[in-house]
Structure 1
Amino acid sequence: MSAPLLLTDWHSIPDAARGGTVALGNFDGVHLGHLAVLRAAHAARPELTPAVLTFEPHPREHFRPDDPPFRLTLLGEKCAALAAAGVRVVHALPFDTGLAAMTAEEFVEQVLHRALGAGHLACGHDFAFGHRKGGDAGFLAREAEKRGIGLTIVPALSDAEGPISATRIRRLLQDGYPERAATLLGRPWAIQGEVVHGDKLGRVLGWPTANMWIGRHLEPARGVYAVRARLADGRLVPGVANIGRRPTLGGDPQTRLETHLFDFDEDLYGQEIAVELLHFQRPDLKFDGLEALTAAIAADAAEARRLLGLA
């Protein structure tokens, strides 16, 4: 699976990247509902290059910068998930004050028609765009038809619990249900980031960890998880991880992800890895000293091995 062509400037799109089927949306999480939109776009014009138009940062990050982080997928992970779904071109439009001020009609004419030369469009039934969300799916249908562009409006994909949405997946992760979130995503949810230096305490205690900051990702339920890490070279390594602020050690101002990889002793500092949360084991706890903490980590690791079928 090769990475899609990533374009971030709609003013200068190469000819080879124009004229495709373009699925529209934020695609945060690239969940099963999003995959339905991608399939609809491709089915309408299978001879055209499958493309996605999304926004970076997420418009909510632009308009409400003080909100807590909420992203399910940052751009790199989003592109990887889109590539796995067959997308060849990703237009990640920089969402700034200029784009936010563009009217819905200007967006259709200047971006979708002139810049992208879209051959066919697809979006969810609730897609809204343009200044103050002045355009909806109905408006898009009328404007696309004027320009000879086809449009497929895809209804929400639902299961027994209701429509599949990024909001619902976020809630499941915050409540400690990564398995249920994975069912709606079609894959395990992962936190991707650079392995950074910590205080090396884990190594002193006999449980070395790869440390990452949560950053702009949604903060899931704090606690211990059975995990699988995707390394930069593609290897998958099982392990146990803690998401929290280390209350036993006095507390941290930021939430971190500390992952102990089983039977692994390589230097990962500075590398980008993705840690998939597979099973939630217990909430983050404050222990009475390092001896109790070390015993808890050993028990957590044994339980993670059992959950992952390694025991």
Structure 2
Amino acid sequence: MSFVHSTDTADLPVALRGGVVAIGNFDGVHRGHQAVLERALGQARQKSVPAMVLCFEPHPRAVFQPDTPLFIITPPSMKARLVQALGFDALVQQPFTREFAGHSAEEFVTAILEQRLGISHAVTGFDFHFGKNRQGGPAFLMEAGARHGFGVTLVDAFRDEGAEIVSSSRIRTLLEEGDVAQAAGLLGYRYTVEAEIVKGRQLGRELGYPTANMALPANTALRHGIYAVKLRRADGSVHNGVASFGRRPTVEDDGAPLLETFVFDFSGDLYGEVCQVSLFGFLRGEEKFDGLEPLIAQMKRDEQEARALLAAVSPLTPLDREIAFA
């Protein structure tokens, strides 16, 4: 069966019923999340049943704190790509609203896990809470599983080599600082964004540096600056490049942030294509130059530095190979 990305638990294909489900928000699908996901995959293989990921969309914090922007590391389409690469059969999103949040923990177990998904086993992090006022915790889930006929596995917090817990908030902070290399160490793959290539002012073409432009979600708090990147096309081909994320201060007063990727040794047309860009290294912050000539000179230096950096990289993990490499 091909991978299923369902945007509502009510739409689950019958063939996926009886599966093992990993439950959580999984923003970032980082190494800590992967510890939970690998346990779920192991259970599914042992039982010879489908493996699913159940998450909540939008992120609950966006519902309860709508005036506080939340930097989402992996929007739904990217999350689906990651869990598919890990070996899951489906990503199932439960629409998260205040009405849904008002349901009791027992209602969540009965309506979602038993009736809609028909699960045989649930795997969650040790601190997973659910239901109105977070009344459902690990002990409740295990007791409910015994009553409803499914098993439950709880996974302890995952710590990195420095004994610190790997968390989405740590990764967001690193990306806000531009430290994509350290963020990759916690993610287990290079931070990757996905969007349609759109037309810009085409100034880069006039300067000899045509770029593939992507408008990222408004809550993307990645540090503005220049990055060594790899761009993956819809056909699966991967190309090295250098990208600028920011507002282009030399040529615009206050443009909306764009990710502009100059793809090395490429002359094709990417407009309208949905591509992914993986960030391998931060080269420098965004600067305003005194005219186009010093800007072009710096762009040439950026290109040389990015080429050198990318010539020396290798996959961090099998998942990194699948996401960021050819």
TM-score by length of 2: 0.90
> Is the contact between residue 234 and residue 274 of structure 2 (CA under 8 Å) also seen in structure 1?
yes
Instruction: Report the Cα distance in structure 2 between the residues aligned to 1:117 and 1:283, rounded to whole angstroms.
Output: 50
Within a 5 Å distance, the mapping from 1:1-311 to structure 2 comes to 4-46=3-45, 47-159=48-160, 160-216=162-218, 218-309=220-311
Instruction: Report the Cα distance in structure 2 between the residues aligned to 1:54 and 1:92, rounded to whole angstroms.
Output: 5
Q: Give the SS at the match of 1:98.
A: helix
Q: Give the SS at the match of 1:224.
A: strand
Q: Give the SS at the match of 1:11.
A: helix
Q: Give the SS at the match of 1:158.
A: coil
Instruction: Report the Cα distance in structure 2 between the residues aligned to 1:257 and 1:191, rounded to whole angstroms.
Output: 10
Q: Give the SS at the match of 2:194.
A: strand
> Is the contact between residue 69 and residue 219 of structure 2 (CA under 8 Å) also seen in structure 1?
no
Instruction: Look up the equivalent residue of 2:244 and give its one-letter code.
Output: N
> Is the contact between residue 197 and residue 212 of structure 2 (CA under 8 Å) also seen in structure 1?
yes
Instruction: Report the Cα distance in structure 2 between the residues aligned to 1:59 and 1:155, rounded to whole angstroms.
Output: 22
Q: Give the SS at the match of 2:149.
A: coil
Instruction: Report the Cα distance in structure 2 between the residues aligned to 1:201 and 1:126, rounded to whole angstroms.
Output: 50
Instruction: Look up the equivalent residue of 1:187 and give its one-letter code.
Output: Y
CA apart distance, 1:225: 0.5
Instruction: Report the Cα distance in structure 2 between the residues aligned to 1:214 and 1:6, rounded to whole angstroms.
Output: 21
Unaligned runs of 5+ in 1: none
CA apart distance, 1:130: 1.5
> Is the contact between residue 74 and residue 217 of structure 1 (CA under 8 Å) also seen in structure 2?
no
> Is the contact between residue 41 and residue 87 of structure 2 (CA under 8 Å) also seen in structure 1?
no
Instruction: Report the Cα distance in structure 2 between the residues aligned to 1:103 and 1:199, rounded to whole angstroms.
Output: 52
CA apart distance, 1:102: 1.5
> Is the contact between residue 100 and residue 131 of structure 1 (CA under 8 Å) also seen in structure 2?
yes
Instruction: Report the Cα distance in structure 2 between the residues aligned to 1:16 and 1:188, rounded to whole angstroms.
Output: 33
Instruction: Report the Cα distance in structure 2 between the residues aligned to 1:309 and 1:253, rounded to whole angstroms.
Output: 32
Unaligned runs of 5+ in 2: 313-326
CA apart distance, 1:253: 4.6
**Are the structure 2 counterparts of residues 297 and 165 from structure 1 closer, same or farther at C-alpha, using a change threshold of 3 Å?**
same
Instruction: Look up the equivalent residue of 1:280 and give its one-letter code.
Output: F
Instruction: Report the Cα distance in structure 2 between the residues aligned to 1:43 and 1:244, rounded to whole angstroms.
Output: 42
> Is the contact between residue 178 and residue 188 of structure 1 (CA under 8 Å) also seen in structure 2?
yes
Instruction: Report the Cα distance in structure 2 between the residues aligned to 1:71 and 1:161, rounded to whole angstroms.
Output: 25
Instruction: Look up the equivalent residue of 1:28 and give its one-letter code.
Output: D
TM-score by length of 1: 0.95
Instruction: Report the Cα distance in structure 2 between the residues aligned to 1:161 and 1:285, rounded to whole angstroms.
Output: 37
> Is the contact between residue 3 and residue 80 of structure 1 (CA under 8 Å) also seen in structure 2?
no
**Residues 44-85 of structure 1: CA distance to partner in whole angstroms, max 9, x if unpaired?**
342221111011221222222333341111111111100111
Instruction: Report the Cα distance in structure 2 between the residues aligned to 1:155 and 1:189, rounded to whole angstroms.
Output: 24
CA apart distance, 1:12: 4.2
> Is the contact between residue 224 and residue 280 of structure 1 (CA under 8 Å) also seen in structure 2?
yes
Q: Give the SS at the match of 1:110.
A: helix
**Residues 199-237 of structure 1: CA distance to partner in whole angstroms, max 9, x if unpaired?**
010001110001111215532111100000011110110
> Is the contact between residue 73 and residue 217 of structure 1 (CA under 8 Å) also seen in structure 2?
no
Moved more, 208-217 or 149-158: 208-217
Q: Give the SS at the match of 2:10.
A: coil
**Are the structure 2 counterparts of residues 88 and 210 from structure 1 closer, same or farther at C-alpha, using a change threshold of 3 Å?**
same
Give aligned-pair identity as a percent: 44
**Residues 266-293 of structure 1: CA distance to partner in whole angstroms, max 9, x if unpaired?**
1111111111010000011111111111
